[in-house]
Amino acid sequence: MSETKTTRTFQHLFEEAEKDSLYWKEGLILEFTSDLYQLMNAQGLTKKDLADRLGTSKAYVTKIFQGNANFTAESMTRIAHALNGRVKIHVTPRNDNSKFCDASDNDCAYRRSTRPEKQS
């Protein structure tokens, strides 16, 4: 299979995947768990430390980081609070690839690869 045909095939697969809400849900879980991991690293915490703070097992924390936990707004808030963090939700146009961050966050690399379409 030629590289061009392979590229078109992968592009088609991604376009199809993006039509499914499961694709977007998994992306949210990945972003959430990545943010948790960064908070843990910044505080020098281990999975066991987080488990102790949550009053759960290390196995449950592993499940969180594998994206296999049943995340609800309540559970996400509880986990974030255990790391002295908080959950923020924002909605953007689908083609906006910016990462949400506070203006005061010096470590936040704010990048916008696409601009929202202008409203007429």
* Whether the Cβ atoms of residue 85 and residue 74 lie closer than 8 Å to each other: no
pLDDT the model gives residue 83: 97
Alpha helices in 55-109 (DSSP H): 58-65, 73-82
- 87: which 2 tokens? 């959950």
- Domain membership of residue 105 (yes or no) is no
pLDDT the model gives residue 45: 97
Share of the chain above pLDDT 90, in %: 45
- Domain membership of residue 99 (yes or no) is no
- Domain membership of residue 90 (yes or no) is no
Distance (Å, whole) CA 77 – CA 54: 11
Distance (Å, whole) CA 79 – CA 86: 9
Distance (Å, whole) CA 106 – CA 112: 17
Q: Provide the CATH number for the domain around residue 65.
A: 1.10.260.40
Residue 40: which domain range?
Answer: 3-82
Number of domains in the chain: 1
- Domain membership of residue 42 (yes or no) is yes
- Domain membership of residue 119 (yes or no) is no
- Domain membership of residue 35 (yes or no) is yes
Please tell me the pTM assigned to this model: 0.71
pLDDT the model gives residue 115: 41
| Average pLDDT score over the chain | 82
